[in-house]
Amino acid sequence: MKLRRTSAVAIAAVAALGLAACGSDDGGNGGAGATGGGGETVKVGIKFDQPGLGLKSGATYSGFDVDLANFIATELNLTPEFVEAVSSQRETLLKTGQVKYIVGTYSITDKRKADVSFVGPYFIAGQDLLVRADDTTITGPDTLDGKKLCSVKGSTSAVNVQKEVPGVNLQEYNTYSLCVDALKSGAVDALTTDDTILAGYAAQEDNKGQLKVVGNTFSTENYGVGIQKEDTEFCNQVVEAVKKFIDSGEWQKSVDKYLGPANYKPGEGNPPTPTCQSA
């Protein structure tokens, strides 16, 4: 069984009007965890709510994607100011120049490449399942019949599972953290999204030993650094920075630090070889 998440829904132009609020409450000042080369200050989009990848705690930012965003800034002599790159707003943020680049579990798709360019993949992830550590009954999507599966509202990945396994009982919550709480309490049996995101939650101190990633991916998600379309010079510069992040060992070091506590092992093809990608 192989599923692919569809691209993010098209966004209304009016969404751009509210983007100035993204990253407020210390989100636009870089804060602890934002480093760089000390040169030109640029806004960089990251996730604020993904443990192990892009997480904002007060004025501190942490995670694999944050490490990569900082590494790129240092290599290009830039000073990053982190802003929240909500999935539905990412193309608008780049097309309108409100951010210089985005590192936030941004899957490369043909549809997105029509609007923006990518440097990637820098990580190959896949959709998987998070379950309680003592659960041996769920080993993949084909074992979800009659089970309660949690995901966020509007998640195409969860809907795809529901189509393939009509007997699954889909429970939709507003955030993945609420799904994690429901999983720990026994209110649901599993949570589905990218394996990297699931590993990040499993690795959190409050969740250690209680949750596990099944480790049976059923999609392929190629993460890329999003940049403004056809900015060839910048694209080539970012490619070299990402290659250095991988070749220097910082890629593996960051994986071990943020996802290792969940016993997560990157899947086949990792670390990949990034290139400039555009439609």
The CA distance from 260 to 26, in Å, is 29
User: Residue 6: its pLDDT value, please?
Assistant: 40
Structure confidence by residue, pLDDT tens digits, 42-86: 999 999 999 999 999 999 999 999 999 999 999 999 999 999 998
Q: Which two three-digit tokens encode residue 173?
A: 């919550």
User: Residue 190: its pLDDT value, please?
Assistant: 97
User: Residue 32: its pLDDT value, please?
Assistant: 54
pTM, whole model, 2 decimals? 0.82
Residues of the chain with pLDDT under 70: 1-33, 154
The CA distance from 80 to 72, in Å, is 9
Contact 128, 217 (CB under 8 A): yes
